[in-house]
Amino acid sequence: FARRKAAGAAMRRSLGLLAAAAGGLLTLAAGIAVDMDAAPLDQPYRASVACNDDYESLPRGCQPQACGRAVFDNVITSEEAASLRAMADEALAFAARKAGHDLPHGWNTPGQTPLPLLDGPSIVDVNTGFARHSVLGLQGLYRDLGKKRKPTTERFVLNQLHRTLYQRVGRTLESLLTSEFGLSELHFSAPTFVARLQGSAAWRARDVHDEYWHPHVDRNNTAHYHYSALLYLAEGGGEDFSGGEFQFMDPEGNFTVVPRAGRVVIFTSGQEHLHRVRPVTQGVRYAISMWFTCDAAMAMPQFLDGKMHNTFHAKREAGKKRQRRHLPRNHRVKAPKDEL
């Protein structure tokens, strides 16, 4: 019974993480008095803003020299962006099969009319091993979900090219954050995912988790988020998709970043950065969202090992300590190499 209860709790935690992450929907900002757009930004940029959260309480090496935001271009190539889009589509097609929907061959060919089945937001987290869409539901990529949590008869296989590229993106975004904000300590966290937003005039949100366009603050939704990063994998402005612009909602008006493949937006995750994504009206928007934390207990290594992971560093370590107490003195559980 205890094992079944733990499994259910783990699944609920995973669903909550993914639902919150798909646009930051669990805590919606209220009282937005300004809805005026400044001229859209279509070039590299950086700016400091006044910190609205207590960053002084963070470990010294993780306190920003100044709160702010920055935009970088050409962080990945167009070929690498296409490869990451293909990775997300392969995982989504796998999740669709598990949900009883076989997608037709060539469904994601550029120029092809998007499948109505996939209208709206989808998220794919290849690190923790989940995919979600309102029609497909929450699907495990590496094992079945449910009380028994038995290994699935078919598992999604992340190829070496995609694994290496995804890991490099994570390291690159972490490096940009540490350099931009003068940090000596920062931890990759979870969830991190590719968000696929498919526009359609006929589509209607099924629940609040589909409504990805609401203004929100990342740290309000997930307390251990301290730094945020968004990497575009597709071209906006009507080329791959229309709408879907990222906006900082500043007191003096909305600050819009034009979507470009390979463009990265990084920012401190506190109250100083209320933001939103405008609805995608046509085409498909792909972007990688990653968050980083100052709390070592909430670290989540980039496993990418074909296994489901839904436990943060602190809980994994607690589990190891409990296990060690029941082992002979001369036996110790070895930590995975990527955690050493």
Residue numbers annotated as active site? 285
| CA dihedral (64, 65, 68, 74) positive or negative | negative
Phi, psi of 289 (to 5 degrees): -110, 130
Sort strands 246-250 and 187-188 into parallel, antiparallel or unpaired.
unpaired
Residue 298 in contact with residue 211, Cβ under 8 Å?
no
User: What is the spatial distance between Cα 233 and Cα 72, in angstroms, rounded to a whole number?
Assistant: 13
What are the DSSP calls for 9-34, one per residue? HHHHHHHHHHHHHTTT-SS-------
Tell me, what DSSP letter sits at residue 69? E
Residue whose entry in the numeric block shows the structure tokens 């987290």: 125
Task: Tell me the CA end-to-end span of the chain in Å, nearest whole number.
Answer: 33
Question: In angstroms, rounded to a whole number, what is the distance separating the alpha carbons of residues 149 and 105?
Answer: 30
Cα–Cα–Cα angle for 105, 81, 299, rounded to 5 degrees: 110
71 contact partners, CB below 8 Å, separation of at least 6? 41, 43, 44, 45, 46, 257, 263, 264, 265
What is the rounded distance in angstroms from the CA atom of residue 97 to the CA atom of residue 31?
42
* Among candidate residues 274, 43, 292, 312, the one with its CA nearest the CA of residue 178: 292
